[in-house]
Structure 1
Amino acid sequence: MTGVKHMKWWGWGDEGIAFDHRDKPEFAPFVERAIGLDVSTATVPVPAFDELDLPASRADEAFHAQLTDIVGGEHVHTDAMARVVHTFGKSIRDLLRVRSGTLSRTPDVVVYPADEQQVQRIVELAVSADAVVIPFGGGTNISGSLEPAVDEERVVISLDLGRLNRVLEIDEVSGLARVQAGIQGPDLERELSRRGWTLGHFPDSFTHSTLGGWIATRSSGMQSDKYGDIADIVRGLRMVRPNGVVVVRPVPSASTGPSIREMILGSEGRLGVITEATVHVHRVPPVRVVLGYLFPTWDAGLAAMREIAESDASPSVTRVSDARETAFSFATRTRSKGIQSVGTSVLMKVLQRRGWDLDEICLSFIGYEGEASHVRYEKKLVRRIVRRHGGILVGKGPGALYDRKKFDTPYIRDFLLDRGAAGDVSETAAPWSRLRQLYDTTMAAAGKAYEDIGVQGWIMCHLSHSYHSGACLYFTFAFVHDDQPVKQYDQVKSAIQQAFVDSGGTLSHHHAVGVEHSAWLAQDVSPEGVELVRALFDGADPNRNFNPDKIIPPA
């Protein structure tokens, strides 16, 4: 056995873990109001695994034997479960297709190398045999970066890096760590924290995604305001190619022509296989706290986040939800009793007396880390800004709940799918001056798409990352689908994506391009920009052996 952990084949996360609404009394009424769905019973069962219709593996005995010679027989898999798990990521489109029971193309063989040398030998074998190599981390991708092309006739290898899962070295003087690319988020943080360090990178997919996957997709984490996106965190890289290893040394800065490091970041396996990275690490802060705030309106929350970004404060988290997402957050609360219940009721009455419209309230989370004196200073700065925009502090309780539940939200998608509804996310980034227009345009576009397909749909948003010049807006949408769910999903998703680029936003802030977003790439980076990227991929991989057709659509 490989010993590598994988998510369940039909949904998000671990077997035996699921979203449960029964201790959340406001959830069912909220969903019925939002999308007209009765959540009391599951109506769409997950198909039995043995009912799936899989194509036969194209890896013949000779090729299988060559792979076995490299990694050992127990690390070469052609069984149905391994191939299904490695076919897709975890977008709604992926989950709808795998739940439909028919997979028109899967990897032909899944291979688990133990080290970079084995990766090199596999890559050389694949190129000599004109096979396709698709690097695989945790399988959390939601932009179609993992799937083989339906019309791919060559042998497809899913190269699972899960055995490359160690922290190799920590340079405590420089605050740098050498880490193998296949390590998953919890294992990486556990190993670093054992030595007193943290990476500070916590994407929504943290519990199941890998360092290599973060790099390949230009990931961003919940605390990126302080620690930076993965592009800021990664300083050095090692990437296997057919004739050797690309080595980017972890210097703090360099003027060495076009950045090889930047070429590899976000390349989604199209240039080679990332095996190792040297990353910034930080001492575990003595104080860490996430506080909850309420703003009277969405505009007030956005203005406060912009002013915080301009200030001397440097919070680890700056997040504010619009009124719709705030209502959803309140609906997912567990049943409260006693003092907590009374306190919430009293607060709402006080806000009403102040003239707040309770339907427009926006919930915010702001995080602080560092020495106690530094945290006190930042909290004071932020408190003044929040007050200037009419907001109030509501304490540690909401922030502590957010901290505990922040990685659980994807399980709600499976809950909805079990009941015939689709829910997914799209995110973008834009300058502060365009943010509100982008929000309004996107909300209207989604509403029009719902109207066109004749469904009662829902869309909500939060600002999740703040920068000097702008911020990320993260949209979540859901609707009850008919018997053509992928077609309906495409219409809604396309409307949202087009609204992004029409409003001056990017096609994705941190979920990558894959095949899901490639149709908008030319509008985002210009047609000539696409041609530059195409020339890079064609020159580096002329026979299209490395994860072909991702990012750049086929010519």
Structure 2
Amino acid sequence: MIEGVKQQKWWGWGEEGHSYGYKDKPKFAPFVMKKVGVDIALPVKPIPPFSSLDVPPSRLSESLRQTLVGILGETYVQTDDETRVVHAFGKGVRDLVRVRRGELGRVPDVVLYPGTQREVERLVDAVVDADAVLIPFGGGSNIVAALEAEPGESRQVVSVNLGRLNKVLEIDEVSGLAHIQAGVFGPDMEDQLQARGWTMGHHPDSFVWSTLGGWIATRSSGMQSDKYGDIADITRGLTMVMPGRVLELRPLPSTSSGPSVREMVLGSEGRLGIITSAWVNVHRVPEVREIQAYFYPTYADGLKACRQIVESDAEVMMARVSDALETEYIMANGKKGSKLSSLVSKGIQKLMLQKGWDLSQIAMSFVGFEGSKSHVRYTKGIVGKIVRDNGGMGVGKGPGALYDQKKYDTPYLRDFMLDRGLVCDVSETTTPWAYAEQMHTNATGAFYKAMDELGLRGVVFCHLSHSYHSGACQYFTFAINDDSENNLVTYDVAKRAIQQAFMDNHGTVSHHHGVGEEHSPWMEQDISPAGVHIQRTLFEGIDPGRNLNPGKIIHDGAPGISTNSADHMA
């Protein structure tokens, strides 16, 4: 490990010693048993020691090693096995299953840690001159196979960790812009900004273990994007190192300079170069911040209310609503005696029943408010009326405060479930408002149909996470009870069913997780064959030697089966 650069554990999410705990949540174990038939209290197999892995030796040539050491120094050219394995994968389900089994695929031959813009420029040229493969690495939180080298890659594979490029370089307080290095992790960036009274307001689920450069490279979105915008809105200018040249885009509020080069870089996943810094919108830390909790009779009522909030004069920081199953899951995660676990108390249940609600269909909602006291008061009044007009009711800000405290813990649950034989994953999409309810019905239906055909138990639930003028993102979480050696085949069937449902119901392949290899088979359905042709032409024109993270976004695999998974299952 490199001093000052955070690194996740090789076998799962986050840092060693931090995991999901359920023993103080009395409703969680019964919920899991009821939905998928798994007793989470049973003993689990320990994670195998790293020493048990058969790590392929580095193929780094002595000539390239000497060149890289000359650029970076010995300390920042790492070829030890654990560092290479950590940088071989993201944290998708397929990644975690395979690395725990010791099925490591094409591990990088070396991991580089540049500390300056000039070092990045020199190493990019050196790697391309050696006809090696270069893969940028931020926090390693990617879940769409955007970090793994193609199977069978015969050339040297170089992973570039930008963790030393972690500073807020400048704040333009007049324009509300900050110049920030791309390797900074979310919490470190916000600490630097807030120390000077500013915030970027971008908080994805992966916030603790993802970086500014990674957000830009995957077109990330955050929990507060209803107010602050997605990373595509936030990023106004950037610097990207390309072979033999450096792209410099100034931080302009808008421009008519032909097809947007900025848009070409956003979501490019390392196919065009390495993003080293960006100019981003920043805002003064708000005077007031609170999250209110509400209930609706049904998820459909919640969807309608969220649309009306967008249409209204209310300016909220977030508006989230969960379907009935996810609402039950949220309740099951409440600690004994907490406001979350007691939300549907006997008194509230009685009130809901008096209103004629079916308690098995209720939908929970969190709405976030930020700004001056008067703005928050005004906006809460608008939202409260919309909630009531759609049959809903408010239950205060206590549950929202608990949600806010625990919002980054969810990824640890994936490891916990995998330990117990449950394959868990997420898929998200956007649709116009006219198709939002249809998408929910048909995507969940496609998942359960796939489970029936496989003869397995599984569960899927959903929440609306981000809202726009014309539509919204819906975020699906699913779990499958399959601890067999074929559970990745099972996973592919379920993932394929959900992703195809997105295509069949006016959705997109992904809202904010990116494309990588996992989602690329659906790109022609998403953006049309002509759109894929444009992207392919762009990548081939910039990178004719296929040195820059090849195989991502565009590849020729079958729907639902990436090139890596097809290789794994062969």
TM bucket, shorter chain: over 0.9
- 1:368-379 equivalences in 2 (<5 Å): 368-379=369-380
Q: What secondary structure sits across from 1:139 in the alignment?
A: coil
Q: Which residue of the partner structure matches residue 568 of structure 2?
A: none
> What code does the residue aligned with 2:53 have?
L
Q: Distance in 1 between matches of 2:457 and 2:226?
A: 35
Match of 2:551 in 1: 549
Distance, in Å, in 1 between the alignment partners of 2:65 and 2:200 is: 38
CA shift at 1:242, angstroms?
A: 1.3
Classify the secondary structure of the residue corresponding to 2:387: helix
Q: Indicate the larger mover: 445-454 or 188-197.
A: 445-454
Deviating more after overlay: 102-111 vs 423-432: 102-111
Match of 1:79 in 2: 80
Change (3 A) 1:343 1:158: closer
Distance 2:78 2:3 in 1: 10
Worse overlay, 54-63 or 119-128:
54-63
Q: Which residue of 1 aligns with 2:562?
A: none
Deviation (angstroms), 1:24: 0.3
Matched with 2:327 is 326
The 3 A distance-change label for structure 1 pair 385 and 124 is same
Query: Unmatched 5+ residue regions in structure 2?
Result: 558-570
Query: Per-residue CA shift, 1:259-288, capped at 9, x if unaligned?
Result: 010000000000000000000000000000
Equivalent residues in 2 for 1:291-330, closer than 5 Å:
291-330=292-331
1:41 shift after superposition: 2.2
| SS of structure 2 residue aligned to 1:207 | helix
| Pairwise CA distance, 1:342 | 9.5
**Counterpart Cα distance in 2 of 1:530 and 1:42:** 48
Contact 2:333/2:341 (CA < 8 Å) preserved in 1? no
In 1, distance between residues paired with 2:448 and 2:139?
Answer: 34
Q: Which residue of 1 aligns with 2:450?
A: 449
Q: Which amino acid aligns with 2:548?
A: F
Q: How far did 1:102 drift?
A: 2.2
Distance (Å, rounded) in 2 between the aligned partners of 1:343 and 1:2: 47
Q: Residues 402-456 of structure 1, C-alpha deviation per residue, up to 9 Å, x if partnerless?
A: 1011110111111111111111100000000011111111011000111111111
| 1:132 match | 133
2:400 counterpart SS class: helix
Cα distance in 2 for partners of 1:165, 1:258 equals 31
Q: How many angstroms does 1:350 deviate by?
A: 1.8
Instruction: Give 1:517's aligned residue.
Output: 519
Q: Give the 3-state SS of the residue equivalent to 2:345 in structure 1.
A: helix
Q: 1:53 offset after TM fit, Å?
A: 1.7
The AA in structure 1 aligned to 2:23 is: R
Amino acid at match of 1:374: H
Q: Note the alpha carbon deviations across 1:314-353, whole angstroms, 9 max, x for none.
A: 1001000000000000001000179985982211122122
Letter in 2 for 1:209: S
Which runs of 4 or more aligned residues in structure 1 lie more than 4 Å from their structure 2 counterparts after TM superposition? 337-343
Q: How does 1:492-503 map to 2 (within 5 A)?
A: 492-503=494-505
Cα distance change on mapping 1:24 and 1:272 into 2, 3 Å: same
Deviations for 1:154-189, whole angstroms, at most 9, x for unmatched residues? Answer: 000000000000000000000000000000000000
Is the contact between residue 334 and residue 341 of structure 2 (CA under 8 Å) also seen in structure 1? no
Amino acid at match of 1:483: E
Alignment-mate amino acid for residue 321 of structure 1: S
Q: Which residue of 2 aligns with 1:282?
A: 283
Q: Distance in 2 between matches of 1:408 and 1:202?
A: 13
Per the alignment, residue 9 of structure 2 pairs with 8
* Aligned residues of 2:331 and 2:343 also touching (Cα < 8 A): no
CA contact (8 A) 2:429 2:475 kept: yes
Aligned to 1:53: 54
Kindly provide the amino acid, as one letter, of the partner of residue 172 in structure 2.
Answer: D
What amino acid is the match of 1:157?
Answer: V
Aligned to 2:362: 361
Q: CA deviation at 1:43?
A: 2.7
The residue that corresponds to 1:536 in the other structure is 538
1:234 and 2:231 are equivalent in the alignment = no
Cα 1:343–1:539 shift into 2, 3 Å: closer
Deviation at 1:308, TM superposition (A): 0.5
* Mapped contact 1:44–1:417 kept (Cα < 8 A): no
> CA–CA distance in 2 between the matches of 1:309 and 1:320?
14
Give me the whole-angstrom Cα distance separating, in 2, the residues matched to 1:126 and 1:449: 44
Tell me how far apart the structure 2 counterparts of residues 493 and 104 of structure 1 sit (CA, whole Å). 21
Contact kept? 1:430, 1:506, Cα under 8 Å: yes
Give the letter aligned to residue 133 of structure 1.
L
* CA–CA separation in structure 1 for the residues paired with 2:531 and 2:421: 40
Distance 1:36 1:117, change over 3 A: same
1:507 aligns with 2:509: yes
Match of 1:104 in 2: 105
Q: For residues 43 and 183 of structure 2, what CA distance do their matches in structure 1 show?
A: 36
Asked whether 1:17 is paired with 2:18, we answer: yes
- Once the two structures are overlaid, the 10-residue window that deviates more, 237-246 or 338-347, is 338-347
The offset of 1:540, in angstroms, is: 0.4
1:426 matched residue in structure 2? 427
Distance 2:445 2:103 in 1: 35
CA contact (8 A) 1:2 1:74 kept: no
1:94 is matched with which residue? Answer: 95
CA contact (8 A) 1:522 1:530 kept: yes
Please tell me whether the aligned partners of residues 316 and 369 of structure 1 are also in contact (alpha carbons under 8 angstroms). Answer: yes
Amino acid at match of 1:66: T
The change in CA–CA distance for 1:285 and 1:162 in structure 2 (over 3 A counts) is: same
Name structure 1 gaps, 5 residues minimum: none
TM-score of the two chains, using structure 1 as the length reference: 0.98
Provide the rounded CA distance (Å) in 2 between the counterparts of 1:324 and 1:470. 22
Q: Which residue of 1 aligns with 2:408?
A: 407
Tell me the number of residue pairs that the alignment of Structure 1 and Structure 2 aligns: 555
Q: For the residues of structure 2 that align with 1:2 and 1:402, how far apart are their CA atoms?
A: 33
TM score, norm. by length of structure 2: 0.96
Q: Which amino acid aligns with 1:473?
A: Q
Give 1:42 shift.
3.7
Return the alpha-carbon distance in structure 1 between the equivalents of residues 465 and 343 of structure 2: 30
Tell me, in whole angstroms, the C-alpha distance in 2 between the residues paired with 1:457 and 1:127: 46
Which residue matches 2:170?
169
Find the counterpart in structure 2 of residue 489 from structure 1.
491
| Aligned-pair Cα RMSD in Å | 1.3
